[in-house]
Amino acid sequence: MDKNKEPLVEVGEFIAEYTSHMMGCGIHTSRVIRSSKRIAEAYSYHMHISVFQKSLILTLHDSETKEYHNAVVDIPALPISFEHNSELSALSWETYDERLSLKALREKYGKIIAAPSIHPLFVLLLVGFANASFCRLFGGDWISTGIVFSSTLAGLYLKQRMSVHLNHYLVFILSAFIASLCASTSLIFDTTSDTALATSVLFLVPGVPLINGVIDIVEGHTLTGFARLTQASLLIVCIAIGLASTLFLVKDSLI
């Protein structure tokens, strides 16, 4: 037996944490499994894994000593992060290519997950411009574009503030309602108000789980794929409820 080999249990604990973090921050299933197996392979272990939406089960196997390490881990609900997607995936390759020690791997992992994300105010501005551009793409005029910009700021600011305290679905309903209600001010002006209303809530569309869900299904991870699509559909229903509440109030002006 190789005396320098990293202990099975410690490698298993790290991979469980790494895998659940990757699943939690919105990375498609096949990449998560590939990256985790790569790390196990780097330490000369074999890994088998089953991934579900809320938990995962993994077994690490040492073929020399016939030892097994099993773990069932909850997947945390984390904000989507493409930065973590890139860096954690690159970390698995680095571990594989440069045979990092477990200590060095843990340090690098800690640095990646502790790195600050983009400032919420900066995100707010960028999303405001993005949704306003969306309005232009759908044929809205400049007045509608300005209204959509300010509606998006109001809706997203509310979402950022409420996300900490309130249920996820309620947050989506309220944000969609506020954003579309602000956009309904376009009815006062002679402008493309239906385009303004339509685009005001689009910043809420859960594009990442929608696309990840389809990727998972296409790649054969049907369970997680459908779970992601179901989650995304529920959020879309919430957006529809928020938008519908505004439309109920202003529908007479729209027909």
In the complex, least distance from residue 236 CB atom to other proteins, rounded to whole angstroms: 8
184, two tokens: 């309904």
Is residue 206 within 8 A of residue 236, CB to CB? The reply is yes
In the complex, least distance from residue 36 CB atom to other proteins, rounded to whole angstroms: 13
In the complex, least distance from residue 22 CB atom to other proteins, rounded to whole angstroms: 11
**Phi, psi for 55 (deg, rounded to 5):** -155, 165
In the complex, least distance from residue 163 CB atom to other proteins, rounded to whole angstroms: 12
Label the pairing between strands 67-74 and 46-51: unpaired
Residues between 62 and 81 that touch other proteins (CB under 8 A): 79-81
Asked if 193 touches other proteins (CB under 8 A), the answer is no
Asked if 34 touches other proteins (CB under 8 A), the answer is yes
Rounded to whole angstroms, what are the CA distances from 92 to 19, 30, 70, 101, 187?
Answer: 11, 14, 20, 12, 53
CA 236 from chain centre, in angstroms, equals: 15
Is residue 26 within 8 A of residue 80, CB to CB? The reply is yes
Element (H, E) at 114: helix 102-114
In the complex, least distance from residue 211 CB atom to other proteins, rounded to whole angstroms: 5
* Alpha-carbon gap, residue 134 to 151, rounded angstroms: 13
Which of these ranges, 8-16, 56-64, 68-76, 90-98, lies near other proteins under the rule CB under 8 A?
90-98
In the list 9, 72, 104, 123, the residue contacting other proteins (rule: CB under 8 A) is 123
* Bridge partner list, 50: 57
Lookup result for tokens 């944000």: 175
* Per-residue interface string for the shown chain with other proteins, residues 140-179, x marking contact by CB under 8 A: ----------------------------------------
* Per-residue interface string for the shown chain with other proteins, residues 93-122, x marking contact by CB under 8 A: xx--x-------------------xx---x
Asked if 247 touches other proteins (CB under 8 A), the answer is yes
Asked if 218 touches other proteins (CB under 8 A), the answer is yes
Is residue 157 within 8 A of residue 204, CB to CB? The reply is no
User: With 0-12 CB in 10 A as exposed, 13-18 as middle and 19+ as buried, what is 143?
Assistant: middle
**Contact positions vs other proteins (CB under 8 A):** 26-28, 31, 34, 79-87, 89-90, 92-94, 97, 117-118, 122-123, 126-131, 133-134, 136-138, 194-195, 197-199, 202-203, 205, 207-208, 210-215, 218, 236, 240, 243-244, 247-248, 251, 254-255
